[in-house]
């Protein structure tokens, strides 16, 4: 009997934020998590000369089969906005921020309150039938990890909660890879940041625990909000 | 003769501030036959960036000396090379003053008979072009990694492979890596081909910066306890520089340096020999890489011919067309020099439409392909599609061009 061929599934995520928030790191963590869980993934970051507060984008492809494409994702079906100023101040390589978003795509925005869009933006987002989710990622990072540096963890957790890929366990494994274990090379700048975080937490283990709290919190938040795309939502590990 | 067998290590544990029983990583590796390394050793799949793939390649390449000057997006790979130096996999490594200095120094290193590696990106390559274009005539096997970057004003750090066009006629062996896997495999193959007696030429492996260097992808690597055999400086078309009997002769052949009538003939025959050596390298690349091209869907009416990242985008276009029941062929060109003239002709001789997607404005690959197919095939060769300035070519763009092409050429 011929084996049923599973249709190709593909999530193309465009992440946008500002320098220092860990956007590139987040893309490595999500992508690595997908690979750990047995899926296929690739990523590419996009930034200018590295500096704080400058626009940063990073692109992650997630699939259940081999991925050939490389480079920027021009037509994403998922957008992750790490900072409201990407939208309100236009701190982005892509203007307006939803350019190229496919029909019925998901926009995850780090903001406690809805962003006031212009009438044109509002109309275009409605035409695209975009689903806009607001996640208080910075507040979660401050509450649970006592530092806004964990904002990217909340964003990663939310992706796991929404798509179930990477699953929560693989995501936790990926974060561990980033800070201990094999290590993930993101950029020279992150090495300096690492030592800054390490001083704050004294021990990497504590850093991991704090990050895990934020991941779990964000996963739970997406489940509570009913954003999950999978029949069986990812379970929080807490 | 310095280090002809490529194995004498001058670094001691004390020099390096290491424990007394420190052994350089390279000393713990076993040299294996290149064919065994490329085709027989088991491989483990890693999920790493292109810069890390370059590191793993360098780890196994038995590099004697690396010299580089940092430039985005090359810096991260050469930062990784620093770790290899620290671990003792690269015997000597330093940051030169700038690119002319870098590429002059690495040329001297190669003349001394040791395996020499450098790396750069767009503007750095252009700055060092004078020194680079002197390498082939000096018959210096050097491996250069080139992480492509925009060279024009306005300044940008994004990938655009126009700089490759400046090297086409230098006599350098040129490979164009598609992805992280190629950026691991190609440098090893290029080193082995470049050091053959009947080749003795520098080689550059180019890759589209960021899209490959800073992006993660699957890379299958051989066990790290194996390395390439060392360079044998005496096994060369011209002798290595004798550093132990001064004065070292800087010039390859004194009469060539003089502007008299005889020297023109000597110089022209010298150049002929360089470009003949480029062609002779093809047989080694066929051995090490399996082939100079990869052909997908042979015999198709529509063909895409591409190199570098454009191949990846084309693969996805081929896949999506396949889902719709349309067969589209693809030729991936691995070696730009030697240019696989006959392989390309064989693959596309019956094609009706040929599309050449590129990541540069000039369309240098289009010109290369046209020059080898002119008068030999009936297929229409499309002048594009192209993106440049660091842009990505979306698969959708290739698909749109294909659709239009089919309407134009029935």
CA B262 to CA B236: how far, in whole Å? 25
Shortest Cα distance, chain B CAs vs residue A146, angstroms? 30
Shortest Cα distance, chain A CAs vs residue B217, angstroms? 5
**Token pair of B127 as six digits:** 């700055």
Instruction: State chain B's mean pLDDT as an integer.
Output: 92
Architecture of domain B293-408: 3-Layer(aba) Sandwich (3.40)
Interface of B with A in 174-233 (CB under 8 A): 179, 208, 210-212, 214-218
Q: pLDDT exceeding 70 applies to what percent of chain B?
A: 92
- DSSP labels for B122-160? HHHHHHTHHHHTTTTTTT---EEEEEE---SSSP--S--
Shortest Cα distance, chain B CAs vs residue A203, angstroms? 24
Spatial CA neighbour of B9 closest among B67, B82, B63, B68: B63
Report the top-level CATH class of A10-225: alpha beta
Using the Cβ of A94 and the Cβ atoms of chain B, whether some distance falls under 8 Å is answered with no
CA B174 to CA B313: how far, in whole Å? 21
Instruction: Give the pLDDT confidence score for residue B13 in this predicted structure.
Output: 78
CA B185 to CA B219: how far, in whole Å? 9
Neighbouring residues of A183: CB distance < 8 A, sequence distance ≥ 6:
A177
Q: What is the DSSP letter of B301?
A: S
The answer to whether the CB atoms of B211 and A42 lie below 8 A apart is no
Q: Give the pLDDT mean for B251-263.
A: 58
Neighbouring residues of B180: CB distance < 8 A, sequence distance ≥ 6:
B48, B49, B50, B52, B53, B212, B215, B216, B217, B218, B219
pLDDT, tens only, B87-99: 999 999 999 999 9
Nearest CB to B392; choose among A32, A43, A71:
A71
Instruction: Give the pLDDT confidence score for residue A200 in this predicted structure.
Output: 57
CA B67 to CA B76: how far, in whole Å? 14
The answer to whether the CB atoms of B392 and A188 lie below 8 A apart is no
- Mutation target for B interface from A31, A71, A173, A192: give the one with most B CBs within 10 A: A71
Considering only residues A48 and B115, tell me which one the structure prediction assigns the higher pLDDT.
Answer: B115
Cβ proximity of B200 and B141 under 8 Å: yes
pLDDT, tens only, B340-368: 999 999 999 999 999 999 999 999 999 99
ipTM above 0.90, yes or no: no
Per-residue pLDDT of chain A in tens (238 residues, 90 and over written 9)? 445 556 777 899 999 999 999 999 999 999 999 999 999 999 998 877 667 888 999 999 999 899 999 888 999 999 999 999 999 998 888 889 999 999 999 999 999 999 999 999 999 999 999 999 999 999 999 999 999 999 999 999 999 999 888 999 999 999 988 877 555 555 555 666 666 666 655 567 888 899 999 999 999 999 999 998 875 444 444 3
pLDDT greater than 90 at residue B57: yes
Instruction: Give the pLDDT confidence score for residue B255 in this predicted structure.
Output: 52
Cα R_g (chain B), whole angstroms? 22
Instruction: Give the pLDDT confidence score for residue B252 in this predicted structure.
Output: 55
Output the CA torsion sign for B255, B259, B262, B268. Answer: positive
pLDDT greater than 80 at residue B279: yes
Considering only residues B5 and A8, tell me which one the structure prediction assigns the higher pLDDT.
Answer: A8
Domain spans of chain A? Answer: 10-225
Shortest Cα distance, chain B CAs vs residue A73, angstroms? 8
Instruction: Give the pLDDT confidence score for residue B175 in this predicted structure.
Output: 98
Domain spans of chain B? Answer: 13-227, 293-408
Nearest CB to A43; choose among B52, B215, B319:
B215
Instruction: Give the pLDDT confidence score for residue B265 in this predicted structure.
Output: 76
Shortest Cα distance, chain B CAs vs residue A179, angstroms? 16
Spatial CA neighbour of B66 closest among B50, B82, B49: B82
Q: Do domains B13-227 and B293-408 have the same CATH topology?
A: yes
The answer to whether the CB atoms of B391 and A72 lie below 8 A apart is yes
Distance of CA B315 to the CA centre of its chain: 21
Banded pLDDT at B3 (limits 50, 70, 90): very low
- DSSP labels for B225-263? TEEPPPP-TTSSSSPPP-SSSSSP--SS-GGGGS-SHHH
CA B119 to CA B107: how far, in whole Å? 13
Spatial CA neighbour of A24 closest among A140, A141, A134, A156: A156
The answer to whether the CB atoms of A74 and B217 lie below 8 A apart is no
Using the Cβ of B396 and the Cβ atoms of chain A, whether some distance falls under 8 Å is answered with yes
pLDDT greater than 50 at residue B7: no
pLDDT, tens only, B184-237: 999 999 999 999 999 999 999 999 999 999 998 999 999 999 999 999 988 888
Neighbouring residues of A20: CB distance < 8 A, sequence distance ≥ 6:
A52, A53, A193
Instruction: Give the pLDDT confidence score for residue A53 in this predicted structure.
Output: 86
Instruction: Give the pLDDT confidence score for residue A238 in this predicted structure.
Output: 33
- Mutation target for A interface from B217, B320, B386: give the one with most A CBs within 10 A: B217
Instruction: Give the pLDDT confidence score for residue B384 in this predicted structure.
Output: 93
pLDDT, tens only, B294-324: 999 999 999 999 999 999 999 999 999 999 9
**Token pair of B300 as six digits:** 């198709």
Architecture of domain B13-227: 3-Layer(aba) Sandwich (3.40)
Using the Cβ of A74 and the Cβ atoms of chain B, whether some distance falls under 8 Å is answered with yes
Instruction: Give the pLDDT confidence score for residue A16 in this predicted structure.
Output: 96
pLDDT, tens only, B31-49: 999 999 999 999 999 999 9
Output the CA torsion sign for B221, B212, A42, A215. Answer: positive
pLDDT, tens only, B60-81: 999 999 999 999 999 999 999 9
Give contacts of A13 with chain B, Cβ < 8 Å: none
pLDDT, tens only, B141-176: 999 999 999 999 998 888 999 999 999 999 999 999
The answer to whether the CB atoms of B211 and A43 lie below 8 A apart is no
């Amino acid at each position: 009997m011929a084996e049923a061929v599973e249709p190709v599934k593909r999530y193309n995520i465009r992440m946008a934020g500002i320098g220092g928030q860990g956007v590139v790191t987040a893309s490595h963590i999500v992508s690595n998590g997908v690979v750990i869980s047995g899926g296929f993934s690739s990523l590419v970051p996009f930034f200018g000369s590295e500096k704080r507060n400058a626009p940063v984008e990073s692109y992650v492809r997630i699939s259940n089969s081999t991925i050939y494409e490389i480079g920027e994702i021009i037509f994403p079906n998922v957008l992750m906005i790490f900072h409201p100023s990407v939208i309100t101040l236009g701190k982005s390589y892509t203007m307006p921020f939803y350019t190229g978003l496919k029909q019925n795509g998901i926009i995850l925005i780090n903001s406690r309150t809805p962003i006031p869009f212009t009438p044109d933006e509002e109309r275009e987002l409605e035409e695209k039938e975009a689903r806009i989710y607001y996640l208080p990622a910075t507040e979660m990072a401050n509450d649970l990890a006592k530092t806004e540096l964990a904002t990217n963890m909340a964003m990663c957790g939310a992706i796991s909660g929404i798509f179930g890929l990477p699953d929560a366990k693989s995501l936790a494994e990926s974060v561990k890879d980033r800070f201990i274990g094999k290590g993930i090379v993101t950029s020279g700048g992150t090495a300096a940041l690492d030592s800054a975080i390490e001083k704050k937490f004294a021990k990497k283990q504590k850093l991991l625990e704090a990050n895990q709290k934020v991941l779990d919190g964000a996963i739970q938040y997406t489940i509570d909000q009913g954003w999950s795309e999978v029949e069986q939502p990812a379970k929080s590990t807490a | 003769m310095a280090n002809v067998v490529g194995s004498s290590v001058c670094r001691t544990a004390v020099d390096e501030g290491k424990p007394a029983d420190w052994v350089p990583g390279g000393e713990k590796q076993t040299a294996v036959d290149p064919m065994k390394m490329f085709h027989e050793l088991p491989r483990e799949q890693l999920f790493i960036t292109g810069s890390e793939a370059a590191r793993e390649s360098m780890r196994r390449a038995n590099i004697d000396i690396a010299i580089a000057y940092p430039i985005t997006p090359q810096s991260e790979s050469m930062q990784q090379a620093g770790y290899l130096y620290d671990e003792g996999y690269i015997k000597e490594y330093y940051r030169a003053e700038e690119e002319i200095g870098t590429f002059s120094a690495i040329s001297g290193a190669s003349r001394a008979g040791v395996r020499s590696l450098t790396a750069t990106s767009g503007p750095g390559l252009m700055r060092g072009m004078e020194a680079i274009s002197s390498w082939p005539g000096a018959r210096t096997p050097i491996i250069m990694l080139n992480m492509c970057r925009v060279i024009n004003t306005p300044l940008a750090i994004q990938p655009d492979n126009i700089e490759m066009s400046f090297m086409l006629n230098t006599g350098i062996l040129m490979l164009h890596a598609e992805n992280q896997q190629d950026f691991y495999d190609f440098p090893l193959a290029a080193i082995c081909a470049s050091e053959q007696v009947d080749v003795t030429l520098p080689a550059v492996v180019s890759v589209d910066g960021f899209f490959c260097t800073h992006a993660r992808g699957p890379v299958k690597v051989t066990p790290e306890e194996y390395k390439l055999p060392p360079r044998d400086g005496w096994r060369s078309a011209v002798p290595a520089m004798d550093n132990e009997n001064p004065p070292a002769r800087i010039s390859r052949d004194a009469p060539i340096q003089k502007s008299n009538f005889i020297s023109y003939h000597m110089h022209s025959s010298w150049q002929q020999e360089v470009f003949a050596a480029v062609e002779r390298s093809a047989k080694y690349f066929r051995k090490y890489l399996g082939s100079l091209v990869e052909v997908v869907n042979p015999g198709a009416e529509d063909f895409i011919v591409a190199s570098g990242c454009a191949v990846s985008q084309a693969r996805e276009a081929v896949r999506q067309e396949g889902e719709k029941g349309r067969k589209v062929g693809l030729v991936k060109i691995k070696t730009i020099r030697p240019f696989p003239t006959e392989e390309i002709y064989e693959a596309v001789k019956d094609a009706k439409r040929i599309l050449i997607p590129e990541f540069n404005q000039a369309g240098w690959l289009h010109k290369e392909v046209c020059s080898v197919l002119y008068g030999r095939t009936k297929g229409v060769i499309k002048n594009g599609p192209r993106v440049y300035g660091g842009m990505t070519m979306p698969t959708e763009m290739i698909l749109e061009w294909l659709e239009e092409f089919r309407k134009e050429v029935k």
